[in-house]
Structures are given as structure tokens and as C-alpha cells.
Amino acid sequence: MASSIYANDMAKSLFEAALKKGEAVKWLRELRLASDLLKDSALAELIQKKDVPIKDKAREFEKRGNKLSDEMLNLLSMLLEKDKLDLLDPLTVEYQRLLDQHHGIEGSQIAYVTTAIPLDETTRLELGERLTKMAGKPVVIKSKVDPEILGGMIIRLGDKLIDGSVRSKLQTISKELV
């Protein structure tokens, strides 16, 4: 409970700073990116090492084709120092909610999407549009990477579950063959 309050307060402060700089959408994209990339256990392990300078950590993000702004690097550094890197996901969701509210989008729904690899921004936007049409109201995507699903994706939107994972399809074929 206390950690979610902390994440919400941090998201609010971050959002207000982003609005002042006119970079609210850019920062959301970077929050999502950092959150998704840190689901890669090797990268997360490197990022959490205290003896690795922040510039080297930033270079790891760049190697994956993504440069984070100084503000995002400072946020990650602060979360690491306080041992609260696990708050990045709830912070990102709350930041998205604040941005939606700022744009007059109320009552958005969260879609929990599990993929074998991180979603790129284009795929995330297209999926968000499709799910918004399906739900009839704005949808915020909260993604998770699980290599065990092998490919495809699993989507939980409200009480609906769409399992398009390769693992699920292989299990179905296996049952039919027996």
C-alpha cells in the first residue's frame, strides 16, 4: 500500500515536471521503454549493480536502440539508490492515467499484455487502438515479458482473456494428438 502511494506521488511529480517542459508524451514513452527493457533479467541485473556508473547503464539502453533522456536516467538512478526499482511499473501506469486525465480521457481500462519479447512503440500503439475499439473505452497497456510463452501474446482485458501464445497453441495440438 505504502509503495503504491509512493509510486503515485512520484508519478504526479514527474508528470508535473514533464508538463512544464512540454515533454509529457515523450517521458511516457521513455517510462514504458525503461519498464519493458528492465523485464530483461540480464539488463535488470546490470542496472542494479552499484559499481556500474550510470553512463554505462545508459549505454546499455542505447545498445538496444533506445536513448533515455537525462530525466529518465536520473529517475532510474534515484529508484536504484532507494532500492525501489520495482516501483517503475506502477509509476508508469499512474503516469499514463495522469496523462489520460490531462487529455480528458476518463475511465480508461488497463490491458495486461504478456509477450515473449518487449513490445516496440508502434506495436504497442496499434494494439492499444485495437483494444480500445474492442473495449469501447480507452485502454492503457501494461506489458510484461515472459519468454516461456515462446511467441504471440496473452491479453487480459477486464474479464476477457485472449491467449494467442505459441505455448498455448502447442499445448492444444499436443492434446489433440494424444
Per-residue pLDDT of 32-85, as tens digits, reads 888 887 777 777 788 788 788 877 877 777 777 667 788 888 888 888 888 888
Q: Which grid coordinates belong to 105?
A: 480521457
Residues 142 and 54 occupy one common structural domain: no
Residues 97 and 120 occupy one common structural domain: no
Domain boundary among 105, 121, 156: 105
Domain count for the chain: 2
Lay out the sheet containing 139-145: strands in order across.
Answer: 139-145, 109-115, 153-157, 160-163
More confident of the two residues 9 and 55: 9
Residues 116 and 153 occupy one common structural domain: yes
CATH assignment at residue 121: 3.40.30
CATH assignment at residue 79: 1.10.520.20
Is pTM beyond 0.85? Reply is: no
Per-residue pLDDT of 142-175, as tens digits, reads 888 999 999 999 999 988 999 999 999 989 898 8
Domain boundary among 56, 75, 105: 105
According to the model, what pLDDT value does residue 112 have?
92
Distance CA 178, CA 174 (A): 7
Instruction: Identify the band that residue 5 occupies on the pLDDT scale cut at 50, 70 and 90.
Output: confident
> 15: closest CA among 81, 102, 90?
102
Q: For residue 154, what are the domain limits?
A: 107-178
Angle at 66 between CA 74 and CA 167, to 5 degrees: 110
Residues 70 and 133 occupy one common structural domain: no
Indicate the length of the chain as a whole number: 178
Domain boundary among 43, 74, 105: 105
Question: Cα 6 to the chain's mean position, in Å?
Answer: 18
Per-residue pLDDT of 80-119, as tens digits, reads 888 888 888 889 888 988 888 887 776 678 889 999 998 8
